[in-house]
Amino acid sequence: MKKILILSDGRIGHVNQSIAFAKYLDCAYDIVEVKFKTKFFKVLSYVCDNIGIKVKGLFNAEVHARYDIVVGAGSGTYYATKVLAKEMHAKSITMMLPKGYRFDFDIIYMQNHDAVAKQKNMIELPANFAYVEPQGIYHKTKKRSISMVIGGDNKVFRMSVVRLKEQLDFIKTYYTGYELAISTSPRTSKQVEELVQSYYFDYEVIFSKTPVNPIPDFLEQCETILITGDSTSMISEAISYGKANVVVLPLESKNDNKFTRFIHTLAQKDYIHIFDGTIDNKNNKIDFTYYAQQAIT
């Protein structure tokens, strides 16, 4: 069995993609935090990489074993992925497009919406790697149930309380007779949380008060899950597991961006329905095992 070294930049969304990759391969893995010694050393890593120099002294990473594969996700991991993989004669893999660094990894996972010319070492994905394991946090009480996951502002979108209220009003009416479950997320604003609490839902998680993730249970038990369009990781989870229909509640943005391209690409392939005042049942699921195995064959 191959053993995988996962390099962590401390960002859960990045690390979870690498963990998902290892789990789909059913491989043992260790997680090691990697950090550049100074901000200047990170800048220097781009220069060194551009001219093909691998300097282990630019970063800290406590690695005490040998591995068959080194996996990185996030700009803080890419240079170390190359350096450590070369040192161990291991395969170097990135879970996202390594912008700023040369694309000479053994395998690069890239999104369909990444605006680069595909190379032989790139595997194109419709979504981020996600591995879903229900936790028993949510248990539906009615035969038919739907769930909602509310995110928050990010660098592209601002969540409108007025627009969200219109969407929630529609959902409450459209799904009359269903059990309605809802969860906010770490990025949900206080204003939006107050809006959610002004309604009556059969099951409710306000993340700032109860920091748990019921999404895996929603996917396992609910007929439909509705998710705001600000989080690629939440949407990736939704299209990777279960049989639930996935409806994305779009947010407003001024310009074309990776989030809108991501959502529209998924809609074209019937993984999701983008809410436009109507509901449609779309529930195609991604076989991430297939994509993971491509990296080792």
pTM score:
0.90
pLDDT in tens, 77-95: 999 999 999 999 999 999 9
Mean pLDDT check: name the lowest of 183-197, 256-270, 283-297: 256-270
pLDDT for residue 255 is more than 80: no
Q: Do domains 3-125 and 145-274 have the same CATH topology?
A: yes
Could you tell me where the DSSP H helices lie in the chain? 12-24, 39-50, 78-88, 161-174, 190-197, 215-221, 232-238, 258-268, 288-294
Does the 145-274 domain belong in CATH 3.40.50.1950? yes
Residue 258 — pLDDT band, cuts 50, 70, 90? confident
DSSP string, 71-104: EE-STTTHHHHHHHHHHHT-EEEESS--TTS-S-
Which is more confident, 228 or 1? 228
| Per-domain residue ranges of the chain | 3-125, 145-274
> Looking at residue 295, what DSSP letter applies?
T
pLDDT bucket at 143, cuts 50 / 70 / 90:
very high
For residue 260, pLDDT over 90 is answered with no
Q: How much is the mean pLDDT over the chain?
A: 94
pLDDT given for residue 230 in this prediction: 87
Residue 86 pLDDT: 97
Q: What pLDDT does residue 154 have?
A: 81
Residue 55, CA distances (Å) to 79, 86, 97, 197 in order: 9, 11, 22, 53
CA separation for the pair 186, 208 (Å, rounded): 7
Report the pLDDT value the prediction gives residue 103, as an integer from 0 to 100.
96
Question: Of the CATH numbers 3.90.930, 1.10.10, 3.40.50, 1.10.3470, which one belongs to the domain with range 3-125?
Answer: 3.40.50
